């Protein structure tokens, strides 16, 4: 069965510091990985997906199939990055998203 | 704004009652997904509809049911409500049903069961 693990529930960094939010997955098929962001319990917004290889708001994520990881990185964190971040796995069949438990990022001034 | 709308925003009801949550997908989207977000279970997939037909089922209780109507809006019915059903219920939509199509989320309906 598919599974997404985000080992850190809480992550706190200072403004300007690098940040890395960890995500590991377990899936027997070819994975489609996403990062979603949720500000103050509002709607989830897609931040990026591995297939597009884009950089959104300075965030990047690389799919490492060997380590089954899809860590989210940003070289210089900003206060407005404070939010809940969810890593999600899309199944081959194309229906459900399986979400990790989420990491609450706080960027301190 | 993603274009997915959900009503009502908030719902407070008593145990044993039945409620209906409504979702209107983005214009042109054929697929609708329902997710439950609770403090103890996190974000969990409930059910997906595609062009009126049930496509996939997740951790949806038998007390819950859903449908998608010809105009593509969807309703999630929750019955015999329990305290543990208190959660944020999100609807998402995508152009088609495949995973290559981004899911756009609505603002959610916050259900409180007292």
Question: What is the residue-wise DSSP string for A72-103?
Answer: EEESS--GGG-EEEEEEEE-TTS-PEEE---E
Contacts of A36 (CB under 8 A, 6+ apart): A44, A45, A46, A47, A85, A86, A87, A88, A99, B105
Contact A95 B107 (CB under 8 A): no
Q: Are B37 and A102 in contact (CB under 8 A)?
A: no
Tokens of residue B43, six digits: 């974000």
At a CB cut-off of 8 Å and minimum separation 6, what does A84 contact?
A: A37, A38, A39, A41, A102, A103, A104, A105
Distance between A58 CA and the closest CA of chain B, angstroms: 20
d(CA A12, nearest CA chain B) in Å: 20
Q: Which tens digits make up the pLDDT trace of B24-78?
A: 999 999 999 999 998 888 899 999 999 999 998 998 999 999 999 999 999 999 9
DSSP A35-48: EEEESTT--EEEEE
What phi and psi, each to the nearest 5 degrees, are found at residue A81? -80, -10
| CB atoms B99 and A86 under 8 Å | no
Tell me which chain A residues have a C-beta less than 8 angstroms from the C-beta of B30. none
Residue B100 pLDDT more than 70? no
User: What is the reported pLDDT for A42?
Assistant: 82
d(CA B103, CA A97): 9
From the list B110, B105, B107, the residue with the least C-alpha distance to B26 is B105
- Could you give the maximum distance between any two Cα atoms of chain B, in Å? 40
| pLDDT on residue A79 | 96
Residue A29's pLDDT is 81
Q: Are B86 and B3 in contact (CB under 8 A)?
A: no
**How far apart are the C-alpha atoms of B61 and A56, rounded to whole Å?**
37
Chain B CB contacts of A100 under 8 Å are 42
| A50-106 tens-digit pLDDT | 877 777 889 999 889 899 999 999 999 999 999 999 999 987 666 788 999 999 999
B89 shares contact with chain A (CB less than 8 Å): no
Could you tell me if residue B62 is left (phi over 0), alpha (psi between -120 and 50 degrees) or otherwise beta? alpha
pLDDT of A20 = 97
Percentage of residues in chain B with pLDDT exceeding 70? 95
Chain B residue closest in CA terms to A103: B42
């Amino acid at each position: 069965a598919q599974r997404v693990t985000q080992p850190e529930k809480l992550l706190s960094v200072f403004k300007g510091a690098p940040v890395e939010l960890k995500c590991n997955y377990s899936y027997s098929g070819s994975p489609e990985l996403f990062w979603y962001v949720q500000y103050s319990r509002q709607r989830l917004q897609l931040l990026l997906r591995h297939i597009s290889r884009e950089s959104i708001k300075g965030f990047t994520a690389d799919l490492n199939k060997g380590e089954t990881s899809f860590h989210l990185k940003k070289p210089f964190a900003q206060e407005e990055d404070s939010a809940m971040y969810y890593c999600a796995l899309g199944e081959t069949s194309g229906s459900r998203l399986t979400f990790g438990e989420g990491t609450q990022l706080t960027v301190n001034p | 704004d993603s274009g997915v709308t959900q009503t009502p925003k908030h719902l407070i009801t008593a145990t044993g009652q039945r409620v209906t949550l409504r979702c209107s997908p983005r214009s042109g989207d054929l697929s609708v997904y329902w997710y439950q977000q609770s403090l103890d279970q996190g974000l969990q997939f409930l059910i997906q509809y595609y062009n009126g037909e049930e496509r996939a089922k997740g951790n949806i209780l038998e007390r819950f049911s859903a449908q998608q109507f010809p105009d593509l809006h969807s309703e999630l019915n929750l019955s015999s409500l329990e305290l543990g059903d208190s959660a944020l219920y999100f609807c998402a939509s995508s152009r088609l049903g495949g995973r290559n199509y981004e899911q756009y989320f609505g603002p959610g309906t916050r259900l409180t069961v007292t």
